[in-house]
A and B are shown apart, each in its own frame.
Chain A
């Protein structure tokens, strides 16, 4: 038993030690002059082909263009997320970025403890009091939120205009408000251009596992295609890869999310609803360098180019010019405030 405890202690020490190992190529420590930035990734980390990679791209661009020093931390499962942020804050970084809504509470806490360090949270969930009113954030904390419903609105309109069966599908990951935003925007987009279209919306589950269950995504999508759906929008992490597999198998269309997912099933991806995480991260670093950083909640929608849909040489053939023109007109309506996209079901 004692040997076991010693072994466990040794492993724990190694584990903590490895947390501090810097990835090759990244700059370390607080160097004077340049902006020092620490980025802590969400579960999934770099290589997730989604918002972690987006944050990485934005930070790398800041390294190239602004000469920033960036340090990346990839926490594993569990509570060392907070430790990752804390290590960076304690080292006196100018800016610490947490990527993912999961960091929200930790960032708020640390922003109070380290008032001289600036913090930014991508997908930060603003805490609310018991009456549902948003609580005030510490002044050194910037919440970077995306109006996913506005991007989903455009892809919903696009899907409805391309659909022949007038039946559209939606596959969400975990059944909770963050993903309901996507569904609400998508439904509104469909309704805006096609009053008699129906939307079938399904979720893969009620736990975070629902974002990592491609087998379930495959079955959900197959049953939707079976019932006449011909375009499915997925907002479900790697569960969505199962949706793409179903599209491939049935020769139908699917819409990607967060990043351009064309490469996952070339020819079957109508478009992707992309979030400009890279631009948001870059801009925040730029603001810190220029001394214009402000705390507060920043809602990045269509007007701020925080969300968009992909239209490039890959999917141009799938989207007729008239459809494109109609969707672009809707974009202008949303930006001008003529259309307000709902963010709840």
Chain B
């Protein structure tokens, strides 16, 4: 039971990372730096809350969440792909914009600067069991969430997209050798647009999961998860399978931290460092040098 509870908790923690990291892989393999994962998640979380609040349905919330993510991503693509702005600068600005814009609209829609009212989420199991609150019921109910299942499928989906479809081939070509891609008639801008939009949609699903699990939006609720997902992308060497392992690793570290904190075995500060420490180690090439997509961050004329 304890092991099961541990695994389920790690899975719940991993879901937002998996979604955002899947978006991150797609985006970065096309040559666009995915610094805005955090902002897309936050936008997704907020628009999902809006949708769920006004429609009363979590599914409608999910649709709105993705729409919000697409909107934020299209702004990003407009700046970095269409107008060739510096991707890092745009990424930082877009994250700040997401924090400010969600706070502004939160105030506008719900007259609060901290949180929205309660909205409906995916409570399938509670609906079936009549709201069981035992340990077992609680474990099952957290698994009976479509977003948990989708989250587990997100990286396999991106893997298939990149390695099994013509579109994926183009994405990889554009991310590695854009000049060569142009020479065979691939429209680099268009491919990057689609990749960024796809990343925005995926990351916003991660944000929607957070908001619908919590049944409300709270200011800056993503709390750096987008950056951890980006760390997972780098640590996983931009390969979907290894990125999935990285996400699992980070989620397990966080679960361990939660479970062990009461025992005071390891300082919590240290466990919080793990994702970033591993990323630096990976970048420094201590264990298997990480090789980024060759054209990452490079503009193409």
Q: Which residues on A are within 8 Å of B, measured CB to CB? A: 44-50, 52, 76-77, 175, 200-203, 205-206, 209-210, 212-216, 218-220, 222-224, 226-227, 238, 241-242, 245, 249-252
Contacts and interface: CB of A to CB of B under 8 A. Distances in A.
A34 to B, nearest CB: 28
Contacts, number: 103
6 contacts: A201-B262, A209-B224, A210-B223, A220-B258, A226-B138, A238-B218
B272 interface: yes
Interface string B66-103: 00000000000000000000000000000010011000
Contacts of A49: 112, 114-115
Given A215-B214, A241-B216, A206 B269 contact: yes
Given A44-B114, A212-B220, 7 more contacts: A48-B113, A205-B272, A212-B221, A214-B210, A214-B218, A242-B214, A251-B133
Given A48-B112, A212-B219, A250-B133, A223 B138 contact: no
Given A212-B219, A213-B221, A249-B141, A48 B9 contact: no
B100 A214 contact: no
A245 B215 contact: yes
B219 A203 contact: no
A100 B195 CA distance: 43
A47 B114 contact: yes
Instruction: Give the dominant DSSP class at A's interface.
Output: mixed
B55 interface: no
Interface residues of B, number: 40
Contacts of B259: 223
B268 interface: yes
B163 interface: no
Instruction: Give the dominant DSSP class at B's interface.
Output: helix
A199 to B, nearest CB: 9
B5 interface: yes
Given A215-B214, A226-B135, A242-B214, A203 B221 contact: no
A222 B214 contact: no
A212 B223 contact: yes
Contacts of B219: 44, 212, 238
Nearest to A250: B133
Contacts of A250: 133, 138
Contacts of B138: 222, 226, 249-250
Contacts of A210: 223
A8 to B, nearest CB: 11
B258 to A, nearest CB: 5
B179 interface: no
A49 B114 CA distance: 8
Contacts of B216: 214, 241
Interface string B218-231: 11110111000000
Interface in B133-160: 133, 135, 138, 141
Given A214-B214, A214-B221, A222-B138, A50 B5 contact: no
A175 B50 CA distance: 32
Nearest to B126: A249
A45 B111 CA distance: 11
Most buried by B among A76, A214, A227, A245: A214
B29 interface: no
A206 B262 CA distance: 15
B183 to A, nearest CB: 31
Nearest to A202: B261
Given A213-B221, A218-B214, A219-B258, A249 B113 contact: no
